[in-house]
C-alpha cells in the first residue's frame, strides 16, 4: 500500500536507500554483515533519520518480517519506571522466534526518561543483552545517564546539508508531479534547517495549496502566524502596553492555534529591527534563546513569551 503521507511514503526502507549520514550508515551496514550489533545511542536533532535508521537496520537484519523481533517505544508517551519494568523487560527477556539472532528495541526520545527509569533500564539492558539489543534515540545525549552511554555505541546524527535536503525534495517533487519553484525550494530549505521531516511535511502541505510551490505558499503554510501580528506584538511591548500585547498573544496562541515556537522565531527575527542600542539587542537575543530552549522543554508558552515581551519593554525604556 502506498502511503498518502509523504514522510511515510518516501521513508527509506533499507540502509542503502539512506543517502545522507553516510559514515553512520556504513557502520550500521557493518552490523548487518556481521549479523551482530552492540546497544546503540542515536543522538541528534529532529528529522535527521534516527528512527528511520533504526527501522532500516532492523529490516536489513531480519528481513520483511522484521516486526516480529522489533519494537518501538516512545519514552515521552510511556516514560516512567513501570514501563521499563514491564513492557521493556517482557519484550527483552524472551528470545526471538526462528533464526533471528536477537531482537531490537527502539526507545525513542529516550532523553525524556526519568533518571530512575534510566537506571532500571540499564539493568535490563545488561541482563538481556543475549536476546535483545537496544537503540536509544535522543536529541541530547547529555541527558542520558553516564552508565548507559558507556554501554552504547554512540552515533551522532547531524542536520542534513541543504544539498541533501534539496536532492530529497527534488526527487519527491518529480515523483509527485509537483512544480517546485526556485524560491519555493529556497524557502523550504531555510525554514527546515536540515530537518528532513519538516522539509517534506512543508512540501506536501504547500503542494496541496495550488499549482506551484512558491515562496509565498511556503510562508503561508508556516505562517499561520502572520508576520504583521508579531510586528504589532513587538510595537505594543515597546510602548509598554504589555497588557494589550499579552491579550494579542493569547489570541494568537489560543484562538489562531499558532505555536509558541513559531512566535519566538518571528520575535527573534524582529529584534534586529528594533530601535535600541546594539548591546541591548544582544541581551534580547540571549534571552530569546533561553526562552526558545524553555519551550522545547515543555514550558508554558504564554508565560515564557510574555516574559520576553516584558524584557523588550525594559530595553526600550532604557534607551538614550
Partner 1 sequence: MTEPWTVKYRPKRLEDIVGNRKAREEFLKWLQTRLSHKGGKKSALLYGPAGTGKTVTVEAAARSLNLDLVEINASDKRTSQVIERIAGLATTQSTLYGGKRLLLLDEVDGVNLQEDRGAVPSILKVIEDSAYPVVMTANDPWDPKIRPLREVSLLIRFRRLSARECLPFLRRICELEGVKAEEEALRLVAERNQGDMRSTLNDLETLCVGRTMLRVEDVAWLAWRDRLKGVFEALQQLFHSRDVESARNLVEEVDVDYETFFEWIYENALHQLKNPRDVAEAMDRLARAQLLMTRMKSRQLWSLLPYALELMTAGVALAGKGGVGYTQLKFPERLKYLSASRKTRTLLSEASKSVGRVVHASSAKAAREYIPYLRFILKAKREDGLRIAEEVGLSKEFLEGLTA
Q: Which residues bind partner 1 (CB under 8 A)?
A: 3-5, 7-8, 46-47, 51, 55, 72, 74-77, 80, 108-109, 112, 114-115, 197-198, 201-202, 204-205, 208-210, 221, 224, 240, 242-243, 246-247, 250, 254, 257, 259, 261, 291, 294, 297-300, 302-304, 306-307, 309-311, 313-314, 316-318
Nearest distance from C-beta of residue 113 to partner 1, angstroms: 9
Nearest distance from C-beta of residue 130 to partner 1, angstroms: 26
Nearest distance from C-beta of residue 170 to partner 1, angstroms: 20
Q: What CA dihedral angle connects 302, 304, 307 and 308, to 10 degrees?
A: -100
Nearest distance from C-beta of residue 33 to partner 1, angstroms: 25
- Rg of the Cα atoms in the chain: 23
Nearest distance from C-beta of residue 124 to partner 1, angstroms: 20
- Look at the block and give the residue holding cell 509537483: 178
State which residue, 192 or 270, has the beta carbon closest to partner 1.
Answer: 192
Given a contact cutoff of 8 angstroms between Cβ atoms, the answer to whether 122 and 84 are in contact is no
State which residue, 79 or 103, has the beta carbon closest to partner 1.
Answer: 79
State which residue, 130 or 286, has the beta carbon closest to partner 1.
Answer: 286
State which residue, 95 or 176, has the beta carbon closest to partner 1.
Answer: 176
State which residue, 98 or 298, has the beta carbon closest to partner 1.
Answer: 298
State which residue, 232 or 314, has the beta carbon closest to partner 1.
Answer: 314
Given a contact cutoff of 8 angstroms between Cβ atoms, the answer to whether 104 and 67 are in contact is no
Nearest distance from C-beta of residue 316 to partner 1, angstroms: 8
User: Contacts by 90-94 with C-beta closer than 8 Å and gap 24+?
Assistant: 91/132, 92/124, 92/125, 92/127, 92/128, 92/131, 92/132, 92/134, 93/127, 93/128, 93/131, 93/132, 94/131
State which residue, 1 or 34, has the beta carbon closest to partner 1.
Answer: 1
Nearest distance from C-beta of residue 41 to partner 1, angstroms: 18
Nearest distance from C-beta of residue 308 to partner 1, angstroms: 8
State which residue, 161 or 210, has the beta carbon closest to partner 1.
Answer: 210
Amino acid at each position: 500500500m502506498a502511503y498518502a503521507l509523504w514522510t511515510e511514503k518516501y521513508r527509506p526502507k533499507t540502509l542503502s536507500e539512506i543517502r545522507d549520514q553516510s559514515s553512520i550508515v556504513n557502520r550500521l551496514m557493518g552490523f548487518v554483515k556481521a549479523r551482530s550489533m552492540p546497544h546503540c545511542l542515536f543522538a541528534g536533532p529532529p528529522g535527521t533519520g534516527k528512527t528511520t535508521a533504526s527501522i532500516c537496520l532492523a529490516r536489513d537484519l531480519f528481513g520483511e518480517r522484521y516486526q516480529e523481533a522489533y519494537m518501538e517505544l516512545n519514552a515521552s508517551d510511556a516514560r516512567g519506571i513501570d514501563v521499563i519494568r514491564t513492557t521493556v523487560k517482557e519484550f527483552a527477556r524472551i528470545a526471538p522466534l526462528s533464526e533471528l539472532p536477537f531482537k531490537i528495541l527502539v526507545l525513542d526520545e529516550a532523553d525524556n526518561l526519568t533518571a530512575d527509569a534510566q537506571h532500571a533500564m540499564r539493568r535490563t539492558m545488561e541482563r538481556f543483552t543475549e536476546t535483545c539489543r537496544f537503540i536509544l534515540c535522543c536529541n541530547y545525549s547529555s541527558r542520558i545517564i553516564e552508565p548507559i552511554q558507556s554501554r552504547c555505541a554512540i552515533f551522532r546524527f547531524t542536520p542534513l546539508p541543504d544539498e541533501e535536503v534539496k536532492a530529497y525534495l527534488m526527487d519527491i517533487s518529480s515523483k509527485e508531479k509537483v512544480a517546485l519553484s526556485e524560491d519555493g525550494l529556497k524557502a523550504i530549505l531555510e525554514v527546515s534547517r536540515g530537518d528532513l521531516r519538516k522539509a517534506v511535511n512543508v512540501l506536501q502541505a504547500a503542494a496541496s495549496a495550488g499549482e506551484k510551490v512558491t515562496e509565498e505558499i511556503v510562508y503561508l503554510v508556516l505562517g499561520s502566524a502572520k508576520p504583521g501580528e508579531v510586528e504589532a506584538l513587538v510595537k505594543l511591548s515597546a510602548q509598554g502596553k504589555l497588557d494589550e500585547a499579552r491579550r494579542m498573544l493569547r489570541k494568537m496562541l489560543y484562538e489562531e492555534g499558532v505555536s509558541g515556537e513559531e512566535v519566538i522565531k518571528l520575535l527573534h527575527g524582529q529584534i534586529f529591527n528594533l530601535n535600541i542600542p546594539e548591546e541591548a539587542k544582544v541581551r534580547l537575543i540571549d534571552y530569546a534563546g533561553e526562552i526558545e530552549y524553555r519551550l522545547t522543554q515543555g514550558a508554558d508558552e504564554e508565560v515564557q513569551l510574555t516574559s520576553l515581551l516584558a524584557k523588550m519593554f525594559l530595553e526600550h525604556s532604557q534607551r538614550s
